[in-house]
Structure 1
Amino acid sequence: MDNNYNVNNSDNDSEITLKINLQTLSAENIRKNVREAGVVGAGGAGFPTHVKLSAQAEIVVVNGAECEPLLKTDQQLAAKFAEEVVQGLQLELKATGAKLGIIALKGKYSAAITALKPYLTETIQIKILPDIYPAGDEVFTIWFTTGRRVPPGGIPINIGVVVNNLQTLINIARANKGVPVTTRTLTVTGAVNRPITVTVPIGTSLEEVLVLAGGGRGDDLAYILGGPMMGNLVTDFTIPVTKVTGGLIALPKDHPLIRRKQMSLENVLKIARTVCEQCSFCTELCPRHMIGHELLPHRLIRAVNYRAMGDLATLSSALICSECGVCEAYACPVGISPMRVNRALKSELRAQGMKYQGDIRKEDPMAQHRLIPSARLMDRLNLRPWYKEAPLAAEVYEPCEVTLKLQQHIGAPAIPVVNEGEIVHLGQVIGEIPEGALGARVHASLAGTVLKITPQSITIGKGGAST
């Protein structure tokens, strides 16, 4: 398969429609519509998208690589809503002034590629990423698609690039049709009776999401919210789905991945002090180190083990760790977790107000030979038995009650603009951005009555209003 699709389809009816729509919108209008719709980065970070669209860029990259094993949302959405993906990309190109849009996908996403190809132009391309982990990491995606490298401690716009998740692009398109963000699509898979990708109103409880997948296959299970590599264990199923919820994965409690996530930091440090042999495999396979970031996990372990707390240059490099988990899940032969050590160091360093300062170095000449095939990672993590088809459900689930968090994004929590007992309609603004703050609006994902307002959330019960 070619690594680059660049098709000029200027006669395509859908593209003509997109161009007509774009002519009626200025860059300012696009950003305003996105702000009003409450769009945030759907890939996990939740950065307010209207702020990102204020940057002036050269290239927009659409991240549809879905780097976490088992999750299938992006590829399925791309196949079903190809026109809206492209429309969102065209809107983002206009808002940022970028001249090139790149949709990053894996070659095995054949249905998505087929659906998107008719919409490609000279300025919109598909680029195929290798089926490796973490192909969907923002920095890696930029490196694969453009050859550019984000500096350590920097952000993509430093090199003229803006990156957005594929689901974010769909939300950008809908925002410019007056449709706010009220639903989230996520994969529910693993040891469940019916693996499925569902679209639910934001605020739906995880308990209800699990029911949509037929529940867990047995009682002796543990659950990961997010992907198997970077997700966290969850035990409270009253927790609501947010704008950035990527998946829910069930695995047996004795699964090695579950046991690793349950390990305390104290035990992680004890193991590191006892068995680390400074083999440096964690550094050689570290994705950030590969592209030239001065991140040396084996030296960080050594610094912590020998209490070399004065070595600030080494310790501060923990701040640029992406927490992808390669070091603990794949690289280390003796079960150490440099990632957990880095996470603890980051927390301490940030509390002290420290920022990383360092330049990008030459990329590892062996980088292309050290990339981790997704299939090999699946086998190493013993996830193969749980790799199931999780078809995209056609209907949007409608719960009887939703609890919408006021902070589903980076920045300040939204401020409630409704009262308990008030009747609200679907899509109504219920949480506003604080004046002068970085934030995102929250909209009612269910028509009904406001049952409860707390400093953290707003609960709405179905009924009492029309859609």
Structure 2
Amino acid sequence: MDPFLQQIQDGGVIGAGGAGFPTYVKLDCQVEWVLANGAECEPLLYKDQVLMQRWAKELFGGMLLAMHQVGASRGVIGIKKKNADTIAVLQASLPDTIELLLMEDVYPAGDEVELVYEATGKRIPSGGLPKDIGVMVNNIESFINVFRAAQGMPVTDTMVTVHGEVRQPYTAWLPVGMSYQQAIDLAGGITCGEFVVVEGGPMMGSVTEDLSQPVTKVSSGLLVLPRESRIARIKTRSEQDLRRIGKAACDQCSMCSSMCPRGLLGYPIKPHLAMRALQVSGTNNLSYALAAQACSGCNLCTMWSCPEGLDPSRVCGTTKRELRDNNQLMSPQQLQAKTTDVHPLREYRGVPTKRLTRRLELAEYALTKAAFVELDKALEADVCQVSIPLSQHIGKPAMAAVKVGDSVAKGQLIGRAVPQALSVSVHASISGKVISVSDVIVIEREK
């Protein structure tokens, strides 16, 4: 493997959000463009703004290293026009080969496909990858981690926003493996009765009530919301209920398809046909079900478009799962053949983030910015135990490189990437003693 790519793999760098795709694989290509996604269009999240404001030089450094590796001549950082303070910081030291793409404050501007189209005027092929059109995309934190890994600093912490029903919302570097409970305690605790925690953003995040779960490299937000909130009600609805209600109540108004961001870009996704597939059987069912395959899961149809309060996004997700299980998915070539021109009204159908925030019933929380907090040594010492999964990314889990009873230092290798496989290394996020080794390595701080 190329020495630089080996450094990135050994440093444990993955996409700091989403599915956590290993970054060393993304960098193993030759492209013209390198894009940094700083749009951050999920309401309440603030981590990307903090990273760009405080670690701009490391962001630039990571992008320049990536550009050199992939042979790119153009670097672009996508950021919303509204973030004037962040833009000023970036412009103060912007390298000549990197430019800013100032984006409208709409959802989902941060979708990879949207960013690529806005930056380059090109569309990623249906079922394809950005590199197919000469583009490599990563998020802000990943580029910072690329820079650090090149300096021999592995990934041990991740930037997370904690917001919602907590006393003091904040954004901070948190050690990988820290429990949700500990992260929420740093925000002063929960301020409502029954609650759920949204892992990620309110639009695309999942929900849990298990506060023992660990923060991972892909964690971006922990949003505490009342169990009776609109977001919680929608996200906790059972699959059986969402399909039963959708089958009975969908009136085929097609608003979900009219407002679908991927559909407006010409990709072959029509959520209303996926909803129709719930109501029919036989050969027609398959043709309608295939209209779900190009869904990105942005959730705009569910949280914004549907006047009946149905869940077309999850119906598309469950339909795609069934198509995959039955080997009925279309090939990339078939998907591309169904792709149409960009809709002439696309630019007028962007959903303003402020209006979306109100629709999500988050406007009151949005009045408080989750400002950056530097965890002092005393607070760090309160994190007396971490549980670090060996699998935090797409691909093979790392192989344990320690045993029970071993003393480890922060940054020490505890999980080794699997050779000749899609895999990255894992490192200790605190110094202490290993007390458990399985698919999760538990480290306890020594007193």
- The answer to whether the superposition gives a TM-score over 0.5 is yes
Contact kept, 8 Å, 1:420 with 1:453, in 2: the verdict is yes
| Partner secondary structure for residue 315 of structure 2 | helix
Shift of 1:307: 2.4
Q: Determine the structure 1 residue equivalent to 2:408.
A: 424
Q: Determine the structure 2 residue equivalent to 1:118.
A: 92
- The runs of 5 or more residues in structure 2 that have no matched partner are none
Code of the residue aligned with 1:414 in structure 2: it is A
Map 1:88-127 onto structure 2 (within 5 A): 88-127=62-101
C-alpha distance in 1, partners of 2:73/2:39? 22
Shift of 1:446: 1.1
Aligned-residue sequence identity (percent) comes to 39
Shift of 1:318: 2.1
Q: Determine the structure 1 residue equivalent to 2:442.
A: 459
Q: 1:57 to 1:411 in 2, by over 3 A?
A: same
Code of the residue aligned with 1:392 in structure 2: it is F
Q: 1:309 to 1:385 in 2, by over 3 A?
A: farther
Deviations 1:387-428 (A, max 9, x none): 121111123652111110011001011110111111111111
Deviations 1:72-103 (A, max 9, x none): 00011100011001011100101111110000
Code of the residue aligned with 1:71 in structure 2: it is L
Q: 1:76 to 1:254 in 2, by over 3 A?
A: same
Contact kept, 8 Å, 1:39 with 1:172, in 2: the verdict is yes
Normalization by structure 2: what TM-score? 0.95
C-alpha distance in 1, partners of 2:14/2:413? 15
| Partner secondary structure for residue 293 of structure 2 | helix
Shift of 1:448: 1.1
Code of the residue aligned with 2:49 in structure 1: it is Q
| Partner secondary structure for residue 304 of structure 1 | coil
Within the candidate set 395, 420, 430, 2:375 is matched to: 395
Code of the residue aligned with 1:68 in structure 2: it is E
Contact kept, 8 Å, 1:82 with 1:112, in 2: the verdict is no
Contact kept, 8 Å, 2:388 with 2:441, in 1: the verdict is yes
Code of the residue aligned with 2:234 in structure 1: it is R
Matched, 1:377 2:351: no
Q: Determine the structure 2 residue equivalent to 1:227.
A: 201
Matched, 1:352 2:326: yes
Map 1:84-233 onto structure 2 (within 5 A): 84-233=58-207
Code of the residue aligned with 1:452 in structure 2: it is S
Deviations 1:415-455 (A, max 9, x none): 1011111111111111112222101110111111110011x
Map 1:58-77 onto structure 2 (within 5 A): 58-77=32-51
- The runs of 5 or more residues in structure 1 that have no matched partner are 1-26
Contact kept, 8 Å, 1:327 with 1:339, in 2: the verdict is yes
Code of the residue aligned with 1:461 in structure 2: it is E
Within the candidate set 420, 435, 452, 2:419 is matched to: 435
Q: 1:313 to 1:97 in 2, by over 3 A?
A: farther
Shift of 1:137: 0.8
Contact kept, 8 Å, 2:277 with 2:286, in 1: the verdict is no
C-alpha distance in 2, partners of 1:421/1:84? 36
| Partner secondary structure for residue 277 of structure 2 | helix
Shift of 1:354: 4.1
Map 1:314-333 onto structure 2 (within 5 A): 314-333=288-307
Q: Count how many residue pairs are aligned between Structure 1 and Structure 2.
A: 437
Map 1:242-257 onto structure 2 (within 5 A): 242-257=216-231
C-alpha distance in 1, partners of 2:442/2:328? 38
C-alpha distance in 1, partners of 2:22/2:97? 25
**Structure 1 outlier segments of 4+, above 6 Å:** none
Contact kept, 8 Å, 1:309 with 1:315, in 2: the verdict is no
Q: Determine the structure 1 residue equivalent to 2:210.
A: 236
Shift of 1:309: 5.2
Shift of 1:313: 4.4
Contact kept, 8 Å, 2:166 with 2:224, in 1: the verdict is yes
Within the candidate set 237, 256, 276, 1:302 is matched to: 276
C-alpha distance in 2, partners of 1:452/1:164? 33
Contact kept, 8 Å, 1:192 with 1:215, in 2: the verdict is yes
Shift of 1:120: 2.3
C-alpha distance in 1, partners of 2:388/2:284? 44
